[in-house]
Structure 1
Amino acid sequence: MTDRAGEVGGSVRDRIPYQPITRRPALKLPGGARVAVYTIVNVETWRPTLPMPRTVLPPPMGQPLLPDVPNWSWHEYGMRVGFWRFIEALGSRGLKATFAVNGSSCRVYEEACAAAREAGWEFMGHGYVQGPMHKVEDQRAAIADTIAAIRDFTGRAPRGWESPGLTETDETIDLLAEAGIEYVADWVLDDQPVPVNVRSGRMVAMPYPVEVNDVVISAVQLQGSDEILRRGRDTFDRLYQEGATTPRIMPISIHPYLTGVPHRIRYLEELYDYILGHEGVAWMTGEEILDWYLAETDRLGQDQAAR
């Protein structure tokens, strides 16, 4: 089967039917806010014996060598130093994050995960170790292991999921729904939560950024240190303007080894301070946005039924 866009199959396209944001029922954020802002802090386990998920230095003479000490250490700096800058930047402003964490990191980086737990951050599943879902031998087991690690560490199972590198096979989202995951951050296609078709249960695609995201900004596009401020501020301004009529979600995705370094952290802090200077902003976590969205869709369904 080939659809009109020339794609074979169409299973990905069929997961979320196309619906313009301008033709949806009117959602209302708490307190009449225009924009809900949520921060995703990503903490990952990189294994020195394998090629690094990201690199800052090319291999000598173009030949990859393992263990890759400098690039592994680049990431490790984020966990030893950069992460704690996030704890201070968010905590001093009374903000909480959604903590996208590899299940294995609850053991490998126990002190950092404990700090996130004590700060009241929401824990989100992020795979068991950092690597694409396509390379996982048993996705069902890896999902179960991630959920169990987070539940054992925090006392409750995660409700949200962000796949490593936002990767999914055709069955990943079905396996997530069957495991009890309620929302996923891999489908970066909207400024509002939207329902996803799964073979059983219910799933919501949560807005997630590939633009206000330090992997893209700093590790892929190699932009200047202040780009997260410039891009984040411009993104917020537009969403805030549009949110006067249709509420929007603004996610900010950060990694300790990128934005947590000395020459970038100030620009994240300035972005937070800029947004905090506006009224009509709801600072939320992913699961808080999920609960709001489900309550709003239930309300709208009841309103429609009453007419």
Structure 2
Amino acid sequence: MTSSLGASVRARAPYQSIVNRPVLRLPGDARVVVWNIVNVEVWDPAGAMPRAVLSPPMGAPLLPDIPNWAWHEYGMRVGFWRILEAIQSRGMPATFALNGQTCEVYEEVCRAALEAGWEFMGHGHVQRPMHKVEDQKAAIMQTIEAIRRFTGKAPRGWESPGLTETDDTLDHLAECGIEYVADWVLDDQPVALRSPKGRITSIPYTVDTNDVVVSAVQQHPSDEMLKRGKAHFDRLYRDGAKQPRVMALSVHPYLSGVPHRIGYVEELYDYILGHDGVVVWSGEQILDWFLAQNGGQPGTHGKA
């Protein structure tokens, strides 16, 4: 028996199998869209860290948490620049998922992403689960405004910290003008979500080819992103001969930008780019393609 909350979640994305839906078409009959997402966040050294690499001595939490804050800070000082070079040198677009505060705390990083032509995507105002945000709508608007001030353009996409949402988050996002979300990792193609506040689409993000999961949560060896990414791509490429797929690659500077991992990420990029029938797009490019396929109508999944 489904709870009322469970029913509410399911009602946002009515079930539709990928084998029984109208076929989408990519330019040149390409098979796979690759979506690069680079995630940058602001971690407060005076508070609990969003994630830890080193457990506290004798198990007692200690603040300020210098070692775990510094672990992340390395990514912003050093790792980001490796990732930037890896993506730019291959002529790929990317989506830059950022906390609103990043525009102030790491202005140099944000300026480099802007100059690279990356799409900016809201990722919360601070790195905090949406369930812990007292006024979600205000925080969403604050994030949008921070990005608008920095780039001159409001973000069209949103990735909640930790992919967290309450039952109200989607409606707040739609009401604030957000057009797509990356939280609903339930398909290989965009999915029209339902909100009474306006049209909003799920763009396929990932927890499988995401370095947080691979390196920080599951703690695989440094080459796992390459091995998993190649296997993941190979299957999507095969499936894409009948129905095109989206492959998201999510990286964080403090994980993929470190010396022992960046080479494997670069090798994965080169492997994917070595195939015909692949396009690399930003999130908003994927959104525009999907909406053009179904005539811009909410609640549909494409037309043949």
TM range (shorter): over 0.9
One-letter amino acid of the counterpart of residue 16, structure 1: A
Helix, strand or coil for the counterpart of 1:264?
Answer: helix
Q: Tell me which amino acid in the other structure corresponds to 2:88.
A: G
CA shift in 2, pair 1:70/1:300, >3 Å: closer
Say whether 1:247 aligns with 2:236.
Answer: no
Taking only the aligned residue pairs, the percentage that are identical comes to 67
Corresponding residue SS for 2:36: strand
Given candidates 3, 10, 13, the residue that maps to 1:7 is 3
The letter of the residue matching 1:253 is S
Cα deviation digits, residues 75-110 of structure 1 (max 9, x gap) = 000000000001100011001210000000011000
Map Cα deviations across residues 131-171 of structure 1 (whole Å, 9 max, x no partner). 10111111111000000000000000000000000000110
Contact 2:124 2:161 in 1 (8 A): yes
Deviation at 1:300, TM superposition (A): 9.7
TM-score for both structures, normalised by structure 1: 0.95
Let me know the Cα RMSD of the aligned residues: 1.5
Work out which of the residue numbers 214, 217, 223 in structure 2 matches 1:217: 214
Contact 1:25 1:300 in 2 (8 A): no
* TM-score of the aligned structures, taking structure 2 as reference length: 0.96
- Name segments (4+ residues, structure 1) moved above 6 Å: none
Cα distance between partner residues in 2 of 1:252 and 1:70: 27
Aligned equivalent of 1:176: 173
Measure the CA separation in 1 of the matches of 2:146 and 2:188.
Answer: 31
State the Cα deviation string for residues 238-258 of structure 1 (Å, max 9, x = none).
000000010000000000000
What corresponds to 2:144 in structure 1?
A: 147
Match of 2:115 among 114, 118, 122: 118
What pairs up with 1:1-307 in 2 under 5 angstroms? 4=1, 6-9=2-5, 10-298=7-295
Q: What is the deviation of 1:7?
A: 3.1
Structure 2: distance between partners of 1:31 and 1:67: 54
Provide, for residues 24-61 of structure 1, a one-character-per-residue CA deviation record: whole Å limited to 9, x for no partner: 11100122110000111000001111100010000110
Contact 2:223 2:264 in 1 (8 A): yes
Q: Is the 8 A contact 1:174 1:200 kept in 2?
A: yes
Native 8 Å contact 2:53 2:68 kept in 1: yes
Cα separation, 2, equivalents of 1:33 and 1:154 = 31
Mean Cα deviation higher: 52-61 or 6-15: 6-15
User: What secondary structure is seen at the aligned counterpart in 1 of 2:266?
Assistant: helix
Q: Does the CA-based 8 Å contact 2:184-2:202 persist in structure 1?
A: yes
Contact 1:126–1:164 under 8 Å retained in 2: yes
Q: In 2, distance between residues paired with 1:93 and 1:195? A: 31
Q: Quick one: distance in 1 between partners of 2:53 and 2:296?
A: 48
1:283 is displaced (CA, Å) by 0.6
- How far apart are the structure 2 equivalents of 1:177 and 1:217? 31
- In structure 2, how many angstroms separate the alpha carbons of the residues matched to 1:49 and 1:179? 31
- Cα shift at 1:8: 3.8
